[in-house]
Every structure is written in C-alpha cells, then in structure tokens.
Structure 1
Amino acid sequence: MTPPALPLALDVVVPVYNEEVALEASVLRLAAYLDEAVRVPWQITIADNSSTDGTAVIADALADRVPNVRVIHTARKGRGYALKLAWGSSAAEVLAYVDVDLSTELSALPPLIAPLLSGHSDLAIGTRLARSSRVVRGGKREFISRSYNVLLHGMLGARFSDAQCGFKAIRSDVAARLLPLVQDDAWFFDTELLVIAQRSGLRIHEVPVDWIDDLDSRVDIVPTVMEDLRGVVRVGRDLMRGVIPVQSVYAEFGRAPIGAVARPSFLGQVVRFGAVGAASTLAYALLYVLLQGIWGAQAANFAALLLTAVANTWANRRFTFAIRGPAKAATHQFQGLIVFAIAWIITSGSLVALNALAPDAPTAVEFVTLTVANLVATALRFVLLRRWVFRRSSEREGVLSSPSADSVVLSTDSGSGGRAGSGLLQSGSDESPPLPVSPPPVPSPSSQKASAA
C-alpha cells in the first residue's frame, strides 16, 4: 500500500524585481539546500514583482524544470504586495521568505521554521543585531539599521531586534488573520506586520544570522527611510485610535501572561519615571535633528514632541506602572497627551507670567523660573499619570484579564508555547528531535505557475 502524501509544510517565497542575473543561481542553491536539510514537504515560490527585464522568462523556466518550484506574476510593484499575494495563495503550513541575493546564510532556515512547525511560536525572524550574529556591511547601512530599530523601540514600543532583515517566517493561520490588517505594500510591510503581531500578543522567535551585504541592492535608501518614517507615524496613530483590531486578534492567537504582573513600588515608579523621562529627552533631540533638515524647525519640533509624548506615555504605561495589554491603550494615550499639554502650559505660562510681571528680568531669573516650573510640571505629571491615567482598581492588581499585547517573547528554546502544532520538524536542527506527523493527507505540490494582475 502506498503511504499517503504529506501535506505541504513549508513555502519559501523569493520576491524578485529585475533580478535576471541572480535569480537562477539563487533558486537552484535554495532548492538544493531545502532538498538536503529539510525533511518536510516544501516548495519555492518565485514572486515576480512586475519585472521589466528577463526575470519573468527565467522564473517560468525554473518552475518548468525544477521540482517543487512555482512562480506567480503580478503587474503591481511592491515587495509587501508580492508577499501578500504569494503567502495568501499558498497551502503551506509555514510561510517564509528570503531575499533573492541570499545574503542570509541558509543554515539559519531550520531554526527559523522549527518553532512554527511545532506550534511554539507564531512568527520567526532573522536578526542581524544579536550579539552572536555575524554581519558584513558598510558603516552607513549599519548606522541606519540600528537607528531605525531604536526609533521603532521608542515610538512603537517594538521589542523585536531587527525589523528589516529579509529572512522571516509565519504560520499560515496567523498570516491569514494578520495580512488583511497590514496596509503597506512596500518595504514597511515587515515592520507593520511585526508591530501588529507583537501588539496582538503573538510570540516572535528570533534567530541570529550570518549576513553579508549585497552590494547590488535595489533599495533606494533615502526614499525608503522617508516611507518608513511615515509608516511609523501612521501605525502609531492607528494603534492609538484603535483602528487596528489587536484585541480581536489576541482573542484568537494571543498568549496571556503567566503569573501575576506585579506593580512597582512607589519608589520604583519614581525611578522608572525619571529614566523614561531621560530617554524621552534623548529621543526628542535625535528626532529633532533628523527632521529639522526635512520639515523645518517648527514642524520638526512639533513632530518630535508629539512622537516622544506618545512614546513616553507607552513607556510609562508598560514599565513605570506595569500595565499591559491593549485594553484602554487608546484612552491612556489620549489622557497622556492631555497631561503633556498641561505640563507644557505650566512651563510656557511661567515665562509669559514672568514677562508680564517683570519685563526686564535678567536671564538668571528666567532660568530659575523655568527650572521651578519644570519641577512643578514634572511632579504634577507623575501624580496625574499615577492617580488618573494609570490608576488601577483593587480587583485589577493581580493578573490582568486584558491581553498582553505589548508583550512579545523572543525565544530560542523549544518549550511549549501553549498551542500544539503539527509536529513537523526539519533535519539539521540541534534543538529538537523529529516528531510524528498526523495531519490529513494532501498531495505535495509539484511545479506550478499562477498569475495575478
């Protein structure tokens, strides 16, 4: 009796745009690696992203002659759009993507997909910024990458370490829920997907990678950075307004905190409040410097103040007062902006009052006045945050009933995450032994073509 074919476990998407030079060699190398190192049924999807050179012809030829390779064509540009289309049309249990230049060493692929196949994690990303990662790239790209991730941590509360490494994977059931919520179809797609996943309480697994920069990269850095900054503002605004339904995603996939969430003591709150304030000041200075040359002094000042106020409220919510989950997050942000405005009125009003009462007051008097006003404003801000914005009723002092949407576990172990997976694991991984497979039989896909406009 012929054993039933196993269901498709892994689909590795290779998004391409005008890559006629690198495409064939990269796909053949990827297929050879998967055939040797991965023992679950797999396929490669070439996502031709409206190429204008010979990429489409080469992709079709590869799909015809290489087993388990398919190609989709789209007339619409954008890496994010290509990934949405490829992932959305795949029957695989785990959906991944790699850059066509294969800058990331493929040996990181088994540990990337293992926690998703086992059900331990929901998404997995390669990170170039872990201590054990080995990365070769220029100083300019290194600075931009690290600065961008610092910005994400401050502005959106991101807790993943590398948003833009072209080496990611996601469970198909999670992708089906999250992809419709991601608006960006270009380079910001990765960041938006990860932020929504984290805020929905999903578990993101990180794998340190070996990575060599592609000197022939098609990425135009300046426009991409500007689009990413606009994306950060948009996602932050939508999260604050409750436009992105992270609570409903949590209801399906989120992982609640284990054990009680203890609130810091009063002294601990004061210390954390001060640390958050210092970090906010540094973030404001950095943002002002970055934006001043683009938007001018006034617009840069307003944007930097607004972004740091939002980040400050989030940080105090999460770290100073230990409140987690999306419940009332938008309300807290609105109240935080009111508190910020009150503090600003006190400091600005002190100068107005001084000029009205003593128009010829020396600079030293102005300095003392502003210092006292800032101390009063800071103390008042702490009191309002503690007693009004983040006040807890006694029945909420223990484990909160709201989801831990601001939490994400960056894990590399193989412990249980609370949901059982299919038990499909690859060879070549030292982390976990293979587990038996017992899903319904579905034929493994062969070479195929699909097209979408």
Structure 2
Amino acid sequence: MQIPGRPRVEIVVPVKNEENDLGPNIRRLREFLDTAFPFPAEVCIADNGSTDATYEIGALLALELPGVRVVRLEQPGRGRALKKVWSESTADVLAYMDADLSTNLNALLPLVAPLFAGHSDVAIGTRLSNGSRVVRRPQREFISRSYNLLLRATLGAQFSDAQCGFKAIRADVAQRLLPLVEDTSWFFDTELLVLAEKAGLRIHEVPVDWVDDLDSRVAIARTVGEDLRGISRLMWTLGRGQLELDPVRQAFGRPRILDPRTALAARVLRFCAVGVLSTAAYALLYLVLRQGLPAQVANVLALLMTAVGNTALNRRVTFGVRGPENRWRHQLRGLATFGIGWSLTASSLWLLHTAVAAPHQAVEITVLTLANLAATVVRFTLFQTWVFDDDAPALPAFEPPAVLDQTRSN
C-alpha cells in the first residue's frame, strides 16, 4: 500500500502506435503501483506521433484509472516526449519505462530509492551486469554490447547500459540537465547520461530481469545510424568545450573525481577510436588515388589528407585541448610526426615491391595498415609528451624525414 506524504514519482510511458498492448500493460503497471510500491506515483502516457488509436485508448485509460494521465505530441520521438513531460512535471522523482514492460517491475523501488535518499542523481536499469537476467535475441545482445563498448571508447562512458528503457532522475537534476540535451529521439538517453557523468553526477545502476519483446518495432539500422551521428555530435561538442557543465556540478556539489589510471585508459581508448576512423579514411583515399597514381605518391597524398583532421580530432577529443590558442603550433607539431608514419609505410611499400613484382592492392592495404598500427604507440607518446604540451621544446628529440605528419591512424 502507498504511504501518504512520501515524495511523489511520475512514471512516463512513451508510446507510438501501441494500441494493442497499451491497455493491458498500463493496467498492470497501475495495479503494481497501487499494491506493491510504497510511494505515491502517477503514470503519464506520452503519445508521440501515433497514427492508430493509441491516443484514444490512452484517454480512456486516464478516465478509467486514477493516477493515470495522457499527453499528446504530434511529432514522434521518445526523447521529445520525455523532455516535455519531465520539464513540466511537479513530481520529485521522474522515471520512464518502455510500454512493453520488458523490465520486471520489482526493480522499480531499487531504481528510485537512492534518488529519494539523495545518494544518487540518476538511476538506470542495466541488462549487462552480472546480476541481470536477460532473455533476448543474440543479434540484439551483440548490438547492445557493441554500442556500450563504443560509448566507452569514444566518450569515456562508465555506465554499463545506455539504452535500457528503465530510468529515473531527480526532478531538480532534470531541470538542470534537460536544457543541455539536444537529441529528441533514441539517443536522448545516451546524451543525458553522458552529460550527467561529465558533470560529476552520481549514476546508480540496478541489475534488471528483462525479457525481449518479440514484437518490437524498433528500426535497428535507422536507430544505429542516429546513435552514431549522436556520438559524433557529442564528441565534437564536448571536444570544443561548448557545454557549460560546471554550473550543474557546482549546483549539486558533485565534483568529478578522476582516477589517473582511468583517465589514461579513457584517453587511450579515444585515441584508438580516432585512429580507427583515420585509418579507414586513409585506406579509402589510398584506394581512390591509387587508380591513377603510383603507390608511393598515393600513399603520401592519402597520409597528408588525413593528417590535419586526425590532429584536430585528437586535440579536441583525446586530449581535451580547446580554443584557438596554440592551434597552429599543435598542427605543425602533429604534421612533424607525419615523418614517422611516412617512413614506416614508405619502407613497408618498398620492401613489399622489392619482394613481389606486382602485389595485389589488398596486400598493399594490409601491409600499409600494419605499418601504420606499428607507428601508433610512438605517435600516442609524442602526442602526450610533445605535440600538445606547450612547455615542450620547440623541436622533437629525433630528426624526422623532411615530410609532414602521418596523422591518419593515430
């Protein structure tokens, strides 16, 4: 039974074209809240862009069930629905869950309790911890784990499961964070969590029992594309220092505590992620240029064309250097390291063509990629100790060839 006078929870259920399952699932949720949840709670059905009878069914449920209301948004987008309802709510704790109720409702109290206690600022359900019990298709499992590994590599995320549809946030924290979140669709969750983490807020994780909805209509390919674009945008925005997170951190007295080992590991992962993108760009450019140019010329041009972009990305994303100050110095130092990459790839090509008269282009690409990876460790050390260190001597300790930087794979 609910205990009067406790802080209130509002649970948002974003829906789009859920006319078949909405009624049974909302009744089930409302019954659980009335009989097994100790805090007064309201359910908000947030219909975003349905073209079937979802909204009409939601309106009937709101009339039938006390503690249920419905909101209609003409445009689709889970993030848009959550942002609107959370921004206007008067509850102390704001939560949301998927309409299919894939997550066992017994996890709701462990989700919100740390927020009421003031111990945590945001809480998420996780399907990827050892204590979770999950039934879902191998394809979905693989995509989920890969996505969260990508978040660790690119954005230094420490939370384990960005997209589980089972989350809660304190209302005062939401009022600070929501204006900073740009995405209105599936990437909304990830962006909110990354910003919370960067602001030093505490994210509580709850292992959940979760059963995959076989009737899920999530367009995986489109969602993956949106998420990748969201990651790129967020990397760019954070790298340029365009988000003012210090006021959020100061408002809640949550200084970000960084373990130097964790910080270095995150830097290495970001460096590797930039390297993978740069290597792919280099390989593509080399293949295009190789159609009409000799191998050595195509190699040099492809390296030069990816060098500037790689240094700029590492400057902002990997090493967190912001603003225009010393930008050209960093670029020139970055280009200087090109000599290492060029000499490695050039000698590799020379050795290959010495050993094989007319090697296949696939073999050329393989040899060049391996040579490029061999230079990565040296380049990371130079980036760490010289390229972006403005107190370093004007010239490196070695004499590079009279070429520019191999900033392509890292």
Class of the TM-score when normalised by the shorter of the 2 chains = 0.7 to 0.9
Distance 1:287 1:388, change over 3 A: closer
Alpha-carbon displacement from aligned partner over 1:38-91 (angstroms, at most 9, x marks no partner): 222111011011211111111011111111111111111111101111111211
1:76 match: secondary structure: coil
Counterparts of 1:188-227 in structure 2, within 5 Å, are: 188-227=187-226
2:246 match: secondary structure: helix
Distance 1:290 1:141, change over 3 A: farther
- The amino acid of 1:27's aligned partner reads I
* Aligned counterparts of 2:287 and 2:109: Cα–Cα separation in 1: 49
* Aligned counterparts of 1:21 and 1:114: Cα–Cα separation in 2: 32
1:47 match: secondary structure: strand
2:250 match: secondary structure: helix
Partner of 1:346: 339
Counterparts of 1:107-122 in structure 2, within 5 Å, are: 107-122=106-121
* Aligned counterparts of 2:196 and 2:7: Cα–Cα separation in 1: 24
Distance 1:159 1:148, change over 3 A: same
- The amino acid of 1:122's aligned partner reads D
The reply on whether 1:69 has 2:71 as its aligned counterpart is no
Of 56-65 and 376-385, the range deviating more from structure 2: 376-385
Distance 1:227 1:33, change over 3 A: same
Distance 1:297 1:215, change over 3 A: farther
Of 242-251 and 381-390, the range deviating more from structure 2: 381-390
2:25–2:100 contact (8 Å) kept in structure 1 = yes
2:44–2:69 contact (8 Å) kept in structure 1 = yes
Counterparts of 1:53-452 in structure 2, within 5 Å, are: 53-256=52-255, 280-281=271-272, 284-285=275-276, 310=313, 338=331, 341-342=334-335, 344-350=337-343, 362=354, 377=379, 379-384=381-386, 387-388=389-390
TM (norm. structure 1) is 0.68
CA deviation after TM superposition for structure 1 residue 109, in Å: 0.6
* Aligned counterparts of 1:77 and 1:291: Cα–Cα separation in 2: 38
CA deviation after TM superposition for structure 1 residue 99, in Å: 0.2
- The amino acid of 1:69's aligned partner reads V
* Aligned counterparts of 1:113 and 1:167: Cα–Cα separation in 2: 11
Higher relative contact order (CA 8 A, sep 6+): 1
Partner of 1:439: none
- The amino acid of 1:171's aligned partner reads R
1:233 match: secondary structure: helix
CA deviation after TM superposition for structure 1 residue 262, in Å: 7.7
Partner of 1:400: none
- The amino acid of 2:334's aligned partner reads A
TM (norm. structure 2) is 0.74
The reply on whether 1:31 has 2:30 as its aligned counterpart is yes
Distance 1:204 1:353, change over 3 A: closer
2:330–2:388 contact (8 Å) kept in structure 1 = no
Distance 1:103 1:370, change over 3 A: closer
- The amino acid of 2:170's aligned partner reads R
* Aligned counterparts of 2:154 and 2:329: Cα–Cα separation in 1: 14
2:71 match: secondary structure: strand
1:169 match: secondary structure: strand
Partner of 2:297: none
Aligned residues: 364
Alpha-carbon displacement from aligned partner over 1:141-163 (angstroms, at most 9, x marks no partner): 11111111111101111111000
- The amino acid of 2:339's aligned partner reads I
2:42 match: secondary structure: strand
* Aligned counterparts of 1:336 and 1:40: Cα–Cα separation in 2: 58
CA deviation after TM superposition for structure 1 residue 20, in Å: 0.7
1:120 match: secondary structure: coil
Distance 1:156 1:312, change over 3 A: farther
Gaps of 5+ in 2: 289-301, 357-366, 393-410
2:237–2:243 contact (8 Å) kept in structure 1 = yes
Alpha-carbon displacement from aligned partner over 1:332-370 (angstroms, at most 9, x marks no partner): 997997488336522345379979xx9999479x99998
Distance 1:286 1:381, change over 3 A: closer
2:125–2:205 contact (8 Å) kept in structure 1 = yes
- The amino acid of 1:151's aligned partner reads L
- Percent identity of the aligned residues? 45
Distance 1:349 1:63, change over 3 A: same
* Aligned counterparts of 1:338 and 1:71: Cα–Cα separation in 2: 54
1:350–1:370 contact (8 Å) kept in structure 2 = no
Gaps of 5+ in 1: 318-325, 391-453
Distance 1:28 1:200, change over 3 A: same
- The amino acid of 2:33's aligned partner reads L
* Aligned counterparts of 2:138 and 2:286: Cα–Cα separation in 1: 27
* Aligned counterparts of 1:21 and 1:333: Cα–Cα separation in 2: 60
